[in-house]
Chain A
């Protein structure tokens, strides 16, 4: 469905030092530096897959997404999306993709979303019947109700995002590019958007590539992740594997019914992450988890326990930190 080979995008950026004189100098003589936003990445995504695209700010995620959507010309390399070369922007290609960006909107600000929908119906040449059916389904799935007839400027951020999604899906694209779709939304709305994306993917077999800063999004939506850093691909595989590879530890939290006697946690190879009167959280290698838990259940006043993977944020920051240490 989607294949990328040796993709490269370099920008020529005009650099200057701060201050009036350097600014003046730069009017006459400009110094350019080349920024390697994307520096030779390759991957393939099958039809119907949901893939999370991760990386720190400025890693080249959005640039890659924009090249995949045909907005930017690659400096070199090959891209094929749904059998098309994106930057040729053929009509069939544009009809088979969509791009939703959390920070930007296509809805007309002063008019109700329904008007933008109508505009899209005309541009995408969606037959009336099909349009009506799709819209009804989206209104239902996204729980839009009467929102689509209110002026966009009166909608909340979350309501607007749901309408953005509807506007972008009216033509039933087969490939969904989502750039930070849940940015700024509250937790409930984030979950609603996430559920919707998964539901849509399962119903229509659409391929989903998403970037997000919220690791919950990625954990909930993307069984597979592609991680890039400084324009290079550093991991491509299952999320589970990534976590196991970087941080094989588990987090165990015990809720306590009574005071905790002093314990030598080091003999389980464990360390304390957080502790208060009623709770203690430990970090322990996956291989010794069983040993530690069964001992604690026998010896300590444990009321309840929870075992989790370390937060994805930590896994990733460790991954990037390691790479940077290695002088990469």
Chain B
């Protein structure tokens, strides 16, 4: 465990070094990230200009969802997506071999192979949005509410990561998964809206298949104490199931990995 923490540190350090190789990129990327975050608030502002609630969710409540959405997007773009793209690149060039030859868990090495640290700006921006929303709500979360929404957020990260690692596993076989990453990014955009926006089949899909509602609406409900304990429990259990399934998919993919060239 300690060993993997240390490895994580080294991987993070290497990514930071890589990031700082190109200083202008670094600054521009951070600025772009802030710009996109700010612009992602626009539809919400426009909507609430016309009406006072969406399916019973008030403006600050919807803002909470956007806050959690922004934090998660920061994690995706800062940690999960760069690693995935790196792996796709490695597979294409046949360089994944070197990674698989290292005496450490391959899934761990793959997952931590690249971070884009400036995207962490989004995590901070998301946290600020959350504070803003709580101020508007005039609500101070109890320790239990704070803890449960944090746990749900972690669960959301686990679910997102699991979906991505399954995509990476697919990359070992089909090599070209760029389109899939676009697909996922656009689907993930749906997570910025509160749960009642989605009805019927869509609600089912976004709760159980690609659990976007669980990722952003649930923590938003939990932080104001409006989510049942049962829902919290099942969400976290669900995250565990996702993680285990992803692990299995990864191990299976390794078995059939054919390497590139020769």
Contact = CB atoms under 8 A, between A and B. Distances in A.
Contacts of B187: none
Interface in A44-98: 61-63, 66, 69-73, 89, 91-92, 94-95, 97-98
B18 A72 contact: no
Contacts of B101: 69-71, 94, 97-99
A252 to B, nearest CB: 38
B14 A89 contact: no
B7 A122 contact: yes
Contacts of B109: 123
B11 to A, nearest CB: 8
Interface stretch (A105-113, A135-143, A185-193, A221-229): A105-113
A11 interface: yes
B18 A108 contact: yes
Contacts of A179: 262
A122 B6 contact: yes
Interface residues of A, number: 36
B181 interface: no
B7 A123 contact: yes
Interface string B1-39: 001001100110010011001000000000000000000
A291 to B, nearest CB: 46
A115 interface: yes
B102 to A, nearest CB: 5
Contacts of A92: 103
Given A71-B101, A124-B103, A111 B18 contact: yes
B21 to A, nearest CB: 5
Interface string A121-152: 01111000000000000000000000000010
A103 interface: yes
Interface of A: 11, 61-63, 66, 69-73, 89, 91-92, 94-95, 97-99, 101, 103-106, 108, 110-111, 115, 118-120, 122-125, 151, 179
15 contacts: A71-B97, A71-B101, A71-B257, A72-B258, A92-B103, A97-B101, A99-B98, A101-B97, A105-B95, A105-B98, A108-B18, A110-B18, A118-B10, A123-B104, A179-B262
Given A104-B94, A124-B103, 20 more contacts: A66-B262, A72-B257, A73-B255, A92-B103, A94-B101, A97-B101, A98-B101, A103-B261, A104-B93, A104-B95, A104-B261, A105-B95, A110-B18, A111-B18, A111-B21, A119-B10, A119-B14, A123-B104, A123-B109, A179-B262
